[in-house]
Copies of this chain bind each other. A is one copy, B any other.
Amino acid sequence: MFLTSLKRVLVGNPLATAQARHERLAKIPALAIFSSDNLSSVAYATEEILLVLVLAGTSALAYSPPIGIAIGVLTAIVASSYWQTIHAYPSGGGSYTVAKDNLGTYSGLVAGAALLVDYVLTVSVSVASGVAAITSAWPGLYPHRVAICVGCVLLVMMANLRGIRETGRIFAIPTYWFIGCLALLLAGGFFQLLMQGAPPPPPATIPVQEPFSTFLVLRAFASGCAALTGIEAVANGVQAFKPPEARNAGITLAWMAFILGSSFLGVTFLAHIYQVAPHEGETVVSMLGGQSFGGTWVYFMIKAATAVILLLAANTSFAGFPMLASMLAKDRFLPRQFANRGDRLVFSNGIIILAGTSSLLLVLFGGSTHALIPLYAIGVFSAFTLSQTGMVRHWWKERGPHWRSHAAINGLGALATAAVVLVIGVSKFAYGAWIVFIIMPILVVGFLAVRRHYDQMGRQLSLSGFSPPRLGRHPVVVLVASIHRGVITALTYAKAISPNVTAITVDIDPTATSRLRMQWQEWAPEVPLVVLDSPYRSVLLPVLNYIDQMEKQQDGAYMTIILPEFVPARWWQHLLHNQTALLIKGALLFRRGKVAISIPYHLEE
């Protein structure tokens, strides 16, 4: 009862099934809920590109604008592809659905596994880097960073368990605040450029650590591709939108891609013009902010918004993961519990599992973004590739108007994202990417095992050709230790359900046994009492042996074992009684055709 009250306070009152439609999202809160993951990458994507290029010296930084444009184009391609997907799959078309429908079950499962892994990593990485921003502001919190990370995950989990509409409301304000801050940052930078012209060249050059090569440019491009993570969230969550779902989702996706592309390109160009060289201790966004607003409250507001958006990015996964898990569960690749909506109409089990696994990752990796990053983005780009290959197949199968140009866009996207997977996989394999390459096959094998179990169960439980079992002279055995009200009650019950009742007792203490025999003649002379020997003072083994022997003589399909149990009035009193009945019931569970019944006798004090 206390737990129930606690749940009500934290999660809210239950919502009726009929309220489901009202929990759908309008476009404004939907943009907030689905875009925080995607937009938050503006905070680090440019920096990742520069960090790779700078290995070949400051002169190599000149390649950042073309790379930025390439990623901008890639964003447009991927967004267009997903825009097409949303309209082709208005019931929710994530990579899993698209790959499964067009490329077959196995491809779908690989895409599903990749996305599940990536959702978990999104939560861990975003929370870890958001908390890193907080602890760099208050170094005293640094020793408690893992606890703070886990606390943040639990907070987001709680908000999501309350339900999606309220979550949208909670997260709308900071997301739009962050978008406003990005606009301010870009406006400030370009205004300054207009008024004062380009700044002087940088004071010092950075030593060259690696020769410049095409491969380096590719690696920088791959690192920058982290900007795209989270772009698929809208397509997975189409059903969370208000009707018309596909139209609203498409518009939201277009807005998100536009905001991402323009702010990412803006940051990249400003960084290039101001010749920002990445260095430890300060982020590129922070340096750009310092350039225009250094020391003012605007500068600190931009930093704060960045920290908050990183924490909120985790929230996107809390919309996507449970939705994907419920789809896998409906296709019987995951336990059916993931397909049930909780009493607040959200997929509670998926939300809880996501919070649990991402917290575990945070604990295992000590809350360090740096340790988690190499595992990240492979999953999402694998899913992109499968999804876009699936779309190519889709257009080819349908052969509608302009199918060739549709297929060309998706084909280009598939090739580009496949290249990204290759580059990330090769360059980061030794730093942790191998973990993802191990976990994904395990997940796929797990999906198939779950499906096989449900299929086998369906066959075994099928009614075709089934004839009900026969109970025959249904033997009922009552287990007694001494004779009291509970035992007499149990015997009464036994005699009511079958004419074939035997009582058995285990002889631990000969005095007690002979007293029982005497009392038996007085209280239950009509029921035969069998005394079982027990040289080693075990109650369980003689009873199980007796039941196994009886089985040979058994006539019908079922044998019933009755255990008289008294139920104490207070919880601690349970500790004062042997839990033999529980042991016997546990052992009987694995024996066929045995029904164990506890006849409760309630004590009053």
Contact = CB atoms under 8 A, between A and B. Distances in A.
Interface of A: 14-18, 335-337, 340-343, 450, 453-454, 456-457, 460-463, 466, 468-469, 471, 474, 483-486, 488-489, 491-493, 496-498, 523, 535-538, 557-558, 566-568, 573, 575-578, 589-590, 592, 594-605
13 contacts: A17-B535, A17-B537, A335-B576, A335-B577, A450-B576, A454-B576, A460-B604, A461-B484, A461-B566, A461-B601, A463-B483, A493-B558, A496-B497
A474 to B, nearest CB: 6
A300 to B, nearest CB: 44
Contacts of A558: 493, 599
B485 A462 contact: yes
A566 B456 CA distance: 13
A594 B493 CA distance: 12
Contacts of A596: 598
A474 B496 contact: yes
A520 to B, nearest CB: 12
A206 B590 CA distance: 74
A420 to B, nearest CB: 35
A457 B566 contact: yes
Contacts of A573: 453
Contacts of A496: 471, 474, 497-498
Nearest to A600: B589
A600 B578 CA distance: 25
Nearest to A603: B460
Given A343-B537, A469-B489, A595-B599, 9 more contacts: A17-B537, A457-B568, A461-B601, A463-B485, A463-B488, A463-B523, A567-B589, A567-B590, A594-B600
Contacts of A16: 535-536
A578 B461 CA distance: 16
A537 B340 contact: yes
A492 B468 contact: yes
Contacts of A18: 535
A488 B468 contact: yes
Contacts of A604: 460
Nearest to A340: B537
Given A335-B576, A463-B483, A469 B492 contact: yes
A234 to B, nearest CB: 27
Given A462-B485, A603-B457, A337 B492 contact: no
Contacts of A603: 456-457, 460-461
A574 to B, nearest CB: 10
Contacts of A599: 558, 595
Nearest to A345: B537
Contacts of A566: 457, 461
Nearest to A573: B453
A483 to B, nearest CB: 7
Contacts of A485: 460-463, 466
Contacts of A537: 17, 340-343
Contacts of A493: 471, 558, 595
A535 B343 CA distance: 10
A578 B342 CA distance: 13
A250 to B, nearest CB: 30
Contacts of A594: 600
B469 A576 contact: no
Nearest to A16: B535
Contact of A597 (B342, B453, B567, B597): B597
A517 to B, nearest CB: 15
Contacts of A454: 576
Contacts of A492: 468-469, 471
B17 A456 contact: no
Contacts of A337: 578
Nearest to A536: B14
Nearest to A452: B605
A27 to B, nearest CB: 28
A506 to B, nearest CB: 12
Contacts of A601: 461
A281 B305 CA distance: 59
A489 B468 contact: yes
Contacts of A17: 535-537
A489 B537 CA distance: 37
A573 B454 CA distance: 9
A496 B496 CA distance: 11
Contacts of A538: 14, 343
A523 B468 CA distance: 10
B471 A576 contact: no
Nearest to A495: B471
A602 B595 contact: no
Contacts of A523: 463
Contacts of A568: 453, 457
Contacts of A592: 600, 602
